[in-house]
Structure 1
Amino acid sequence: MVRLFKHYVPNAVLLLGVLDFALLLIAAEGGWRVRAWQIGMAPGGLHTRIPQLLSFAVPLQIAMVAVGAYGADTIRSLRVATSRLMVAVSLGILLLSVIFFLVPAITFWRSNLFYAMLLSIAMLFALRLAAGRTIGGDVLRRRVVVLGAGARAARIAALAERASANFSVIDYIAMNDGEVAVGRARRRDTVASLPDHVLKMRASEVVLAMEERRNALPLNDLLRIKTTGVMVCDISTFIERETGRVDLASVNPSWLIFSDGFSSGQMLNAAAKRSFDIAVSLILLVVTAPLLMLVAIAIRLETPGPALYRQRRVGLHNEEFVMMKLRSMREDAECAGGAVWTSERDPRITRIGQLIRKIRFDELPQCWSVLTGDMSFVGPRPERPEFVAGLERELPFYAERHMVKPGITGWAQINYPYGASVEDARHKLEYDLYYAKNYSPFLDLLILIQTLRVVLWPQGAR
């Protein structure tokens, strides 16, 4: 894993992204040279067309990130990779068309773009065909030794079995701290020297997964392991890095207090985030106003009641505010009493509601809440006060998600399907805490770009 602007990026993803970008630049240069050869023109020096090369490669790279071309399933499946590449290139053509229209001085001729597109598709596909097993295999995975063989170690074993795992566990060592849950673990007394054993196994990391750490940590051994260049970390940090979420089952208050992060309130970051929110919300509200009116009319024609649905939500510092959405349910959806979770195939959802929920169009009026400052574009989804009261009692650290401004989209929304239960709320809270802890403008940008993937492939939309 590489930590890029406080966000963890798998080695395989970073390597593939760098190679893709290099191939896109080569494809752009190849397209230029093919066209120059066709018309008998000297291609000229490479330095004279750097803006044009970048104007081709950058939008296509963004499109590939947006459609999920670097997801675990895409890296390990040629079929999925091919479909995502085709969608990315199609989206890239649209982006390039906009750039060509707005800033023609930095773009290639359309004939150059055509050849560059063909070359990029061929080379990106060839890269995945030639290096897919290497990039998605064990070569780039870290070799991990786990100290512990109980329930916590078993959780790491389950993570290691996933196809998307970025590590391989090469050994489990039972530290005599309780019941053994990992059958292949070796006993601590069979290892004469823990540091020598770690070096002999060529481990790149040691993870502390003991059930009881008081008076059980082999401090001298861990110090020697650390000074030999092998990374040492606890299970909470390990799971955060590998899964992109804060693990509620292992985390404790002291870990949250002494670990780095929770810097979203810094003045420069807050000012940049607010400026972005104001500018984009204004643009979206103006540009989409005609379409919003048409959808509002369709909602009124299908079922009686207002087109806009106003609802109280809990925002920053537990302050309540009124959030607006396009109404996607019957007006009498909660006539029986209090707040009710939305269920799969909920009969209260209208036909228009099903459509606008799938593409997240019902969320667009929330741009007004972004403009007024109650929300941001990126952040934890604001929850209803009726649910918050119960969730704060049942889930540890739930109140901490209200230390950042709620958003229209968020880290939980792009990583976890729609949830409608306390257990779903628990999983989403883990992602929300990761966002609050590791916030950066880079993470905001990544979430905004990848929101398109959720719209194109609406997993769990209700």
Structure 2
Amino acid sequence: MIRLFKHYIPYNVVLLCLVDFALLVVAGEAAWRIRVGQIGTDIGSLADRSLGLGGFALLVWLAMIAVGTYGPEALRSIRFAIARLLVAVSLGVLGIAFINLVLPGSAFWRSVLLYAMVIALVALIGNRILATRMLGIEAFRRSILVLGAGPRAERLQRISARRESGFSTVAFVDMGDCEATVKGAVPRDSIPDLGRFVENAGASEVVLALQERRNSLPLQDLLRVKTKGVNVNDYSSFLERETGRVDLDTLNPSWLIFSDGFSAGRRLSSVAKRAFDIVVSLLILVIGLPLIAIFAVLVKLETRGPAFFRQTRIGLYGVPFDLFKLRSMRTDAEASGARWAEQDDPRITRVGRIIRTVRIDELPQVWSVLKGEMSFVGPRPEVPTFVTDLDRELPYYAERHVVKPGITGWAQINYPYGASIEDSRHKLEYDLYYAKNYTPFLDLLILLQTARVILWPEGAR
């Protein structure tokens, strides 16, 4: 994997992104030449239209990221990828057309955009078909060797068997730390030189998956592997990188303390994030006020009671604040106390179901963002009752409060809506990953992919 601003991206995704961007530039240039040839005018200098070409490629490419074109499903299914590409290219072209309307002459002609859209779709779909048919997913996978043959090693074996996995296991070495559960594991005693064994296996990385590490860390073996130029990784760090979440089952305080994360160097990033929150929240409040007013009236017309829902939530460092949303449930929905929303929750009104699906009920929260109690990106704020219960049931739950809560977040785009302790546990793993690895790049990635959740409501309640 390639690490960009503390966030890991698979090699196959990076390569696909670069090729797609180049194809979009080519598509824009081809569209320009075709249209200019039709009307019989001079093609002009490439430098003169380089800004337009770059803008076209960038906007469509960002739309592709937003709708999930580079997600696991799109990488393993051509049909799924084509559906997302159609939406992404359409959104990108609409965005460019809007820019051209507001700033005439700053982007491609509308007739050129039509050609560019068709050429881009053909090129992007062809690129995926070619990559899948000729190279296949296996060509982009890394080969790892696992030291260990117990339940931890078995879990890595299951993950590698997934089609979307970015790695494959070439061998398991039974280090004798526990009863072996992985079939075919090679006993350590039968390997004279582990460094040579790793080299001959063609592994690019060795993962330490011992069940018990106290007094059993194979330092001499690891040193031999490292001197062969092969990367050595511990189990928790490897899982964090591969899954995009912090694994609670293997997490311990020492790993959190000594691992790369929670750095003080992100103070400047926090200032930039706050500036972004202020500017964008002001714009949304100005533009979105009519929409909020319309749906507030609809809420009032359907049921009696206030149009807005006010509730105390827990924010940064455990400080409570009042959160506002458009009311989507009956006024007596929490008469017996706060509880999670359920699938087809009978408390949700007809208007409420609509605004929840398209996330319009979240718009009033922008006021909390403007006040600094929330951010656009961060863990979802919970009610005090839930926080008390979850803090008692889940280890490290309090650590999610070291960053501001957000309207959208890493957990929201990676895990469907949950209404149980187990669901909260999974979402906590994503929240801890975000708190540990926060960068503006990760925020941008989350904001872009939030569009995917809105366009394809995955678990909205």
Alignment TM-score, normalising by the size of structure 2: 0.98
Shift in Å at residue 93 of structure 1?
1.9
1:197-236 map, 5 Å: 197-236=197-236
The amino acid that maps onto 2:35 is R
How many angstroms apart in 1 are the aligned matches of 2:13 and 2:99? 27
1:161-176 map, 5 Å: 161-176=161-176
The amino acid that maps onto 1:53 is L
Q: Contact (CA 8 Å) 1:326, 1:362: kept in 2 or not?
A: yes
Shift in Å at residue 393 of structure 1?
1.1
> Match of 2:38?
38
The amino acid that maps onto 1:313 is R
Q: Which moved more, 1:400-409 or 1:108-117?
A: 108-117
Summarize the Cα distance change of 1:384–1:135 in structure 2 as closer, same or farther, 3 Å threshold. farther
> Match of 1:322?
322
Q: Contact (CA 8 Å) 1:264, 1:440: kept in 2 or not?
A: no
> Match of 1:242?
242
How many angstroms apart in 2 are the aligned matches of 1:122 and 1:165? 27
> Match of 1:251?
251
Secondary structure, aligned partner of 2:73: helix
> Match of 2:403?
404
How many angstroms apart in 1 are the aligned matches of 2:57 and 2:106? 12
> Match of 2:140?
140
> Match of 1:424?
423
The amino acid that maps onto 1:174 is D
Deviation string for 1:94-145 (max 9, x for gaps)?
2112221233343111221111111111111111111124565111100010
Deviation string for 1:210-266 (max 9, x for gaps)?
001122122122112112211100110100000100001111111111111113783
Asked if 1:292 is matched to 2:287, the reply is no
Shift in Å at residue 317 of structure 1?
0.6
How many angstroms apart in 1 are the aligned matches of 2:174 and 2:285? 59
1:150-189 map, 5 Å: 150-189=150-189
Deviation string for 1:1-47 (max 9, x for gaps)?
11011111111111111000000000011011111211222312212
Q: Contact (CA 8 Å) 2:378, 2:409: kept in 1 or not?
A: yes
Identity over the aligned pairs, expressed in percent?
Answer: 58
How many angstroms apart in 1 are the aligned matches of 2:396 and 2:331? 34
> Match of 1:48?
48
Gaps of 5+ in 2: none
Summarize the Cα distance change of 1:217–1:400 in structure 2 as closer, same or farther, 3 Å threshold. same
Q: Contact (CA 8 Å) 1:16, 1:135: kept in 2 or not?
A: no
How many angstroms apart in 1 are the aligned matches of 2:133 and 2:231? 26
The amino acid that maps onto 1:270 is S
How many angstroms apart in 2 are the aligned matches of 1:17 and 1:102? 29
How many angstroms apart in 1 are the aligned matches of 2:52 and 2:174? 58
How many angstroms apart in 1 are the aligned matches of 2:422 and 2:136? 31
Secondary structure, aligned partner of 1:388: helix
> Match of 1:372?
371
The amino acid that maps onto 1:449 is L
Q: Which moved more, 1:46-55 or 1:230-239?
A: 46-55
The amino acid that maps onto 1:368 is W
How many angstroms apart in 1 are the aligned matches of 2:167 and 2:9? 13
Q: Contact (CA 8 Å) 1:35, 1:112: kept in 2 or not?
A: yes
The amino acid that maps onto 1:309 is F
Shift in Å at residue 454 of structure 1?
0.4
Secondary structure, aligned partner of 1:309: strand
> Match of 1:436?
435
Q: Contact (CA 8 Å) 1:264, 1:404: kept in 2 or not?
A: no
Asked if 1:5 is matched to 2:9, the reply is no
Summarize the Cα distance change of 1:136–1:420 in structure 2 as closer, same or farther, 3 Å threshold. farther
> Match of 1:387?
386
The amino acid that maps onto 1:343 is E
1:63-142 map, 5 Å: 63-133=63-133, 136-142=136-142
> Match of 2:261?
261
The amino acid that maps onto 1:330 is R
Secondary structure, aligned partner of 1:428: helix
The amino acid that maps onto 2:375 is S
How many angstroms apart in 1 are the aligned matches of 2:129 and 2:356? 36
The amino acid that maps onto 1:416 is Y
Shift in Å at residue 55 of structure 1?
1.5
Secondary structure, aligned partner of 1:104: coil
Alignment TM-score, normalising by the size of structure 1: 0.98
How many angstroms apart in 2 are the aligned matches of 1:384 and 1:317? 14
How many angstroms apart in 2 are the aligned matches of 1:22 and 1:404? 37
How many angstroms apart in 1 are the aligned matches of 2:4 and 2:49? 29
Q: Contact (CA 8 Å) 2:266, 2:439: kept in 1 or not?
A: no
The amino acid that maps onto 1:405 is K
Q: Contact (CA 8 Å) 2:144, 2:205: kept in 1 or not?
A: yes
Gaps of 5+ in 1: none
How many angstroms apart in 2 are the aligned matches of 1:48 and 1:410? 40
How many angstroms apart in 2 are the aligned matches of 1:102 and 1:182? 62
The amino acid that maps onto 2:396 is F
Q: Contact (CA 8 Å) 1:263, 1:439: kept in 2 or not?
A: no
Q: Which moved more, 1:217-226 or 1:365-374?
A: 217-226
Q: Contact (CA 8 Å) 2:377, 2:408: kept in 1 or not?
A: yes
Q: Contact (CA 8 Å) 1:76, 1:136: kept in 2 or not?
A: no
How many angstroms apart in 2 are the aligned matches of 1:402 and 1:134? 47
> Match of 1:338?
337
How many angstroms apart in 1 are the aligned matches of 2:174 and 2:449? 41
The amino acid that maps onto 2:444 is L
Summarize the Cα distance change of 1:264–1:360 in structure 2 as closer, same or farther, 3 Å threshold. farther
Q: Which moved more, 1:412-421 or 1:296-305?
A: 296-305
Summarize the Cα distance change of 1:461–1:429 in structure 2 as closer, same or farther, 3 Å threshold. same
Q: Contact (CA 8 Å) 1:76, 1:133: kept in 2 or not?
A: no
> Match of 2:458?
459
The amino acid that maps onto 2:16 is L
How many angstroms apart in 1 are the aligned matches of 2:377 and 2:196? 47
How many angstroms apart in 2 are the aligned matches of 1:300 and 1:161? 52
Q: Contact (CA 8 Å) 1:177, 1:212: kept in 2 or not?
A: yes
